[in-house]
Amino acid sequence: MSDLFDVPGGADGADSQRPLADRLRPATLDEVVGQEHLLGESGP
């Protein structure tokens, strides 16, 4: 990292162009498993 604001992968990487909601969305079922407040009967 040569700069305080240097982003790994570069600023023009494909990931930086994706919307924030898309980047934060779980990519695998393992990222959701165990979150009963989301998966339980009273979930959203």
Average pLDDT over residues 24-31: 87
Q: How many CA atoms lie within 13 A of 3 on its CB side?
A: 6
Q: How many CA atoms lie within 13 A of 20 on its CB side?
A: 0
6-25 per-position pLDDT tens digit: 766 655 566 778 899 999 99
**CA max distance for the chain:** 49
Query: Residue 19: what pLDDT?
Result: 92
Q: Which residue has the higher pLDDT, 41 or 20?
A: 20
pTM of the predicted structure, to 2 decimals: 0.39
Whether the predicted pLDDT of 32 surpasses 80: no
Query: Residue 11: what pLDDT?
Result: 54
For the chain, the domains span 10-44
